[in-house]
Amino acid sequence: MARARVSKPERRIKASGPAPDPVRLEVFHQLLAAHCEEAGAVLQRSAASPNIRERRDFSVALFDAEARLVAQAAHIPVHLGSAADSVAAAREELELEPGDVVMLNDPYRGGTHLPDVTLVRPVFLPREVRPRFFLVDRAHHADIGGAVPGSMAAAADLMAEGLVIPPVKLRSRGRENRDLRRLFLANVRGADERRVDLAAQEAALERLEARVLGLLDEHGVATVEDYAAHLMAYSERIARDVVRRLPSGRFSAEDRLDDDGLGNGPFAVRLALQRRGGVLHFDWSRSADQARGGINANRSIVVAASVYVLRCLCPERLPTNDGVFRALRVTTRPGSLLEPRAPAPVAGGNVETSQRLVDVGIAALARALPGRFPAASSGTMVNLTLGGELANGRGFASYETLPGGAGAGPSAAGAAAIQTHMTNTRNTPIEDLERRLPLIVRELTVRRGSGGRGARRGGDGLTKTIELRGPAVVSLFAERMRSRPAGAEGGGAGAALRVTATDRDGESVALPAKCSARFPAGTRVRIATPGGGGHGVPRGRRR
């Protein structure tokens, strides 16, 4: 067995200068977060694809000169928890200069999975040779090439999943690398959308840079840097205090992923959770070996999920920054599902395995603090991609995720038809889908009764049926078809995922959770997403 790799908490964050003024500390917290939110609004409103414009599948964050997360918008947890690795990769592999913009998506060099294209922009002050800050945005492009439209189908290696982009300069000293852009657009479907979405990412970072430079000019470089460090130190102190209040002991939990889409599985996800002073140790090293299909998750995603679980324990208003990361320790094992070796495929690690990591993390916390945590939510993002040709002969690619039910908690039932945990995206409007794509949405409704039974019921999933008006490749990458979202404190499990395809003659066939097939016009694809687990023993039943 390969030796486990352990991340060790770094030294406590210390700010120079006098103790912070509490009012100014809150002002800087809100200012920095607001600037990230504004940049996100620029990205959303400038993008062409519904996945970014409507579903808001993107994130924006600000890092300091040491690549420490300073502030973020309230976007996608799995993006933001892993973005620091993108900054680290850009710093390590490239000589950065003013006006540079770095582009990457390689999961083994700072990325998550290939459709998530990350841009990193260093911020320099006049006559300085080292960046003072780094600006990052990450957006899920509806196609990044590869064997199947949408770039999210099960594949046996990374190259089959799409175009792999190591850290390279999209702009060098402000000058566009046109050859790189041409290469990128020549290898993706729906190139016109990809071109606009990439430009929207650049525009967002330009806006954020203007805001950061304005902040430095108004308050002074030393003050802004000191308060950034004060914010991180504050978050670290609160997070460590939260951890210290956890009981001593080793709390274990495990769950599984159904399969890898290539006939293998199930795959165990195992966690041993232990408090050591003010640090919470997440030991994932006993999880399954890496999969042949794309459910592998790199360490960036494992750290992001672990931070998310810890963040759920912290006060709601606590700034999420590098300080929170310093209150945890993560152990993984090279060659495993949670630290695969290149070129293992990873398309589903970011979207499916990350959800299972959260399920297991919360289950372990529930053993440490019984009665305080919710049941499992749907546990899958249900990734649906479509690809084909429009009437004008142009190719198209479409991507969306479908929500399920939230797990019920100690005091309330679970919400229905909602994205949970590691995703924070919205629904794609029916009008947008039908205007752009050769399909009709025949059904979009709550899947009544799919939430687990209990004193408080789990949230229901949804049912969506689309009818193809032309031939198209339909791909699914989902989970919870064999296993069901677990209940808590005696509550029942949520309903499993169900998918069927029905032809013009009314003949139906069940589809697996991970599949890709070309269907003729008139085919109806119906997806019923999982419900959340119930919480507490139902009335009239003994535990």
Question: How large a percentage of the chain has pLDDT more than 90?
Answer: 92
Strands 175-176 and 524-528: unpaired
**In terms of pTM, does the model score above 0.85?**
yes
Per-residue pLDDT, 79: 77
Q: Backbone phi, then psi, for 228, in 5-degree steps?
A: -60, -45
* pLDDT band at residue 10 under the 50/70/90 scheme: low
Q: Is the pLDDT of residue 88 over 90?
A: yes
Q: Could you write out the three-class secondary structure of 151-212?
A: CCCCCCCHHHHCCCCCCEEEEECCEECHHHHHHHHHCCCCHHHHHHHHHHHHHHHHHHHHHH
Distance CA 321, CA 340 (A): 27
* pLDDT band at residue 538 under the 50/70/90 scheme: confident
The DSSP H or E segment spanning 46 is helix 22-46
pLDDT, average across residues 343-352: 97
- Of the given ranges (12-21, 347-356, 504-513, 517-526), which has the lowest mean pLDDT? 12-21
266 cis-preceded (ω within 30 degrees of 0)? yes
* pLDDT band at residue 2 under the 50/70/90 scheme: low
Contact yes or no for 246/347 (Cβ under 8 A): no
Each residue's pLDDT tens digit, 151-187: 999 999 999 999 999 999 999 999 999 999 999 999 9
* pLDDT band at residue 81 under the 50/70/90 scheme: confident
Per-residue pLDDT, 73: 87
- Determine the residue type at 246: L
* pLDDT band at residue 74 under the 50/70/90 scheme: confident
Q: Is the pLDDT of residue 6 over 80?
A: no
pLDDT, average across residues 136-148: 96
Q: Is the pLDDT of residue 100 over 80?
A: yes
* pLDDT band at residue 353 under the 50/70/90 scheme: very high
- Determine the residue type at 48: A
Dihedral Cα 73, 75, 77, 79, nearest 10 deg: -90
Distance CA 330, CA 321 (A): 17
- Of the given ranges (1-5, 197-201, 393-397), which has the lowest mean pLDDT? 1-5
Handedness of CA 260, 261, 262, 263 (dihedral sign): positive
The DSSP H or E segment spanning 509 is strand 508-510
Mean pLDDT of the residues in the chain: 95
Other beta carbons within 10 angstroms of residue 74's beta carbon come to: 13
Coil, helix or strand for 498?
strand
* pLDDT band at residue 78 under the 50/70/90 scheme: confident
Q: Is the pLDDT of residue 53 over 60?
A: yes
- Of the given ranges (312-321, 404-413, 447-456, 521-530), which has the lowest mean pLDDT? 312-321
* pLDDT band at residue 16 under the 50/70/90 scheme: low
Contacts of 47 (CB under 8 A, 6+ apart): 53, 58, 139, 196, 197, 200
